[in-house]
Amino acid sequence: MDSVARISELTKAVFPSRAIALLVAIGFLDLVMTAVLHANGLIVEMNPLMRVLIERSEVLFAVVKSATIVFAWIALALYAQTNYQFVRKAALTGSIVYVTIWVTWFLVGRP
């Protein structure tokens, strides 16, 4: 097996669906933007569970949020082996909801 085929197999194992990759990318983009904007005093975290963490430390927030994103990523990738279509639709729906909530909170949210 050549290296291109190995890379392709590894990519499919890590991201069995592009929808999973999209959801993970959105999650990490949200993490970075939230931490940077909060560190500069430009936003207040609207999620009450994460607000406690980010007010203590942006690093603590980033570690916990990263862990939840990675946990979801692993769970989705593993479950895709059993029910690919469900995972694909769930990740795509999750991506849409995630962006909708983020944009709504960013535009009209109040601390």
pTM for this one? 0.86
Question: pLDDT tens digit string along 91-105?
Answer: 999 999 999 988 888
For residue 27, what are its two tokens?
Answer: 């999650």
DSSP letter (8 states) at residue 108: H
Give the residue extent of every domain in the chain.
15-108
CB 94 within 8 A of CB 26: no
For 2, the 3-state DSSP assignment is coil
Q: Is residue 107 helix, strand or coil?
A: helix
- pLDDT tens per residue, range 34-59: 999 999 999 888 889 999 999 999 99
To the nearest 10 degrees (0 to 180), the angle between helices 48-56 and 58-80 is 130
